[in-house]
Amino acid sequence: MPPFRGWTDLPPELVGQIADGLDDLKCYASTRGACSTWRRALPPPAPSLLVDHGAAAIKCRGLCPAARRSFQLAKIPAPRTCLGCCSGWLALSVFIDDVHSLLSLFHPVTAAEILLPPLIYNTRLVSKIVFAPNPATDDFAATAICDIDRLAYVTAGARRWAVLDPVHLAAGDQLVDLLYHGNGMVYCLTRFGDVHVLRLPQRRRREPIILECHTPADYPVVHNKRIFQMHGTGPDLNVRATDEPLLSSVGNPVFDAATCFTQPYIPVSIFTSAKNLVFCEGNLYQIWRNVTCTVTLQLSGEGRRRVVEDEIFVMRYDPWRRPCWDAVSDLGGYSIFVGRNNVVSMHAEGVPGLMGDCVYWIGGRGRDQGMVFNMKTGRSTPCLPPLDGVVLGSPQSTICWYFLSDTVNNGNNTYERGVYRTRARARAESGQK
């Protein structure tokens, strides 16, 4: 009788066929984690759109057009609004009644939930939340935009969020985006293109106190009908965070569009209201999008600049250059995903269905379609065909771009080259052993 061969000796083709039959993202991730051989044979889940089918299910739909596969996920507590996404976790505002909401971090693959301390502010005015990757009940840090000019933050051990004084902004300006960058650094972007840096206090792991109390059967937050109080006996507020303009590090504490942008882009910066921040290959970028109709902007002198509907501008930061933000025509083969998620970049080489030098966003004529802007052609098109069972334009039908945590470099929000291995490469490596 031939000796028994272990599971690690299964041919990569067979491992791939087994994985193709899985319709659960948790099972797929567990299969990849079984051993190093299987991990090499199976690529990480592709960048996906998190799609809400209403009462039916939440599905994670991959970008790879050849696979045409989607994974059903754990049902998200409802009614709720998604305010952020990072490393597989969602930041949710779960409505209790017409006045009150609770903020929580929820993982739709594992169904784990972390109830955040209360925010003494109208949570209906919270527009986005970013948080440190891979949170735990005793180790988390989050930052939120409150209203138009306030920031709030919380770390594990605090009993409530700390709400900062209003950020000093130009008249008519407001906060529109946050980017968590690691080591407690949160970059904050305004509608006019001003950038501030929030430095959070150092995170400390604290053992939470878990309290149980009975709630009505229709209580919307906790699935097992219990409230978990995830913060312990530490101080009411966190250690003070610091906020300063990005340009203050190079001697310009006050935002001035003339020193930030070249002349063609000064009026564009005011007109493009959808803005996001992202790091790519160590460089900081702003992503601007025209969310209205096609217009022709009058420049200083006799010039004009035509800005078409859904046109996107990519601006790179150079602190030693004036103006310090300049438009670029490519991303060196990377693509960027903007939305409610903590914006990330990914090198497109070897990733099925992904195109380089593109910006993936959510919107379009259906209001919540997955769209892709090609920087070479200057056009936006749907990146996936319509999904059966989802009516485009329905509220919250497309929630956000979704990534699991094992493919991201959390130090700079950049998905590394070479993470996605094709099965052909895995077979070649297996044959060399």
Q: pLDDT (tens digit, 9 = 90+) per residue, 82-131?
A: 999 998 899 999 887 776 788 999 998 888 999 999 998 888 889 999 99
Instruction: Answer yes or no: is pLDDT of 402 > 80.
Output: yes
Between CA 69 and CA 387 the distance in angstroms is 11
pLDDT of residue 62: 66
Grade residue 19 by pLDDT with cuts at 50, 70 and 90: confident
Burial class (CB in 10 A: 0-12, 13-18, 19+), 135: buried
pLDDT of residue 426: 42
φ and ψ of 9, to 5 deg: -90, 0
Task: Give a yes or no: residue 115 inside a domain.
Answer: yes
Torsion of CA 96, 147, 398, 93, to 10 degrees: -20
Grade residue 425 by pLDDT with cuts at 50, 70 and 90: very low
Task: Give a yes or no: residue 121 inside a domain.
Answer: yes
Comparison of pLDDT for 403 and 135, the residue scoring more: 135
Task: Give a yes or no: residue 40 inside a domain.
Answer: no
Cα atoms in the Cβ-side hemisphere of radius 13 Å centred on 386: 11
Please say whether the beta carbons of 285 and 279 come within 8 A: yes
Grade residue 261 by pLDDT with cuts at 50, 70 and 90: very high
Task: Give a yes or no: residue 62 inside a domain.
Answer: no
Q: Which residues pair with 59 in a beta bridge?
A: 51, 72
Counted domains in the chain: 1
Between CA 398 and CA 363 the distance in angstroms is 9
Mean pLDDT of 379-383: 89
Between CA 177 and CA 57 the distance in angstroms is 29
Mean pLDDT of 187-215: 74
Locate 195 and state its tokens: 């950038």
Grade residue 396 by pLDDT with cuts at 50, 70 and 90: very low
Comparison of pLDDT for 303 and 23, the residue scoring more: 303
Mean pLDDT of 367-382: 89
Long-range contacts of 228-232 (CB under 8 A, 24+ apart): 228/113, 228/115, 228/137, 229/115, 230/114, 230/115, 230/116, 230/117, 230/137, 231/117, 231/156, 231/157, 231/158, 231/159, 232/138, 232/156, 232/157, 232/206, 232/207, 232/208
Instruction: Answer yes or no: is pLDDT of 226 > 60.
Output: no
Grade residue 209 by pLDDT with cuts at 50, 70 and 90: very low
Task: Give a yes or no: residue 208 inside a domain.
Answer: yes
Instruction: Answer yes or no: is pLDDT of 256 > 80.
Output: yes
User: 137 lies in which domain range?
Assistant: 74-251
Between CA 270 and CA 283 the distance in angstroms is 23
Grade residue 254 by pLDDT with cuts at 50, 70 and 90: confident
Instruction: Answer yes or no: is pLDDT of 375 > 60.
Output: yes
Q: Which residues of 147-184 are buried (b: 16+ CB within 10 A; e: fewer)?
A: bbbbbbbbbbbbbbbbbbeebebeeebbbbbbbbbeeb
Between CA 376 and CA 4 the distance in angstroms is 54
Instruction: Answer yes or no: is pLDDT of 409 > 60.
Output: no
Percent of the chain at pLDDT > 70 equals 73
Between CA 161 and CA 152 the distance in angstroms is 6
Between CA 52 and CA 387 the distance in angstroms is 11
Q: Which of 208-212, 327-331, 386-390 has the highest mean pLDDT?
A: 327-331
pLDDT of residue 225: 35
Q: In what order do the strands lie in the sheet with 408-409?
A: 379-382, 369-374, 358-363, 334-337, 344-347, 414-415, 408-409
Task: Give a yes or no: residue 169 inside a domain.
Answer: yes
Task: Give a yes or no: residue 95 inside a domain.
Answer: yes
Instruction: Answer yes or no: is pLDDT of 321 > 70.
Output: yes
Task: Give a yes or no: residue 399 inside a domain.
Answer: no
Between CA 245 and CA 187 the distance in angstroms is 10
Number of C-beta neighbours around residue 337 at 10 A = 28
Instruction: Answer yes or no: is pLDDT of 394 > 70.
Output: no
Q: How much is the mean pLDDT over the chain?
A: 78
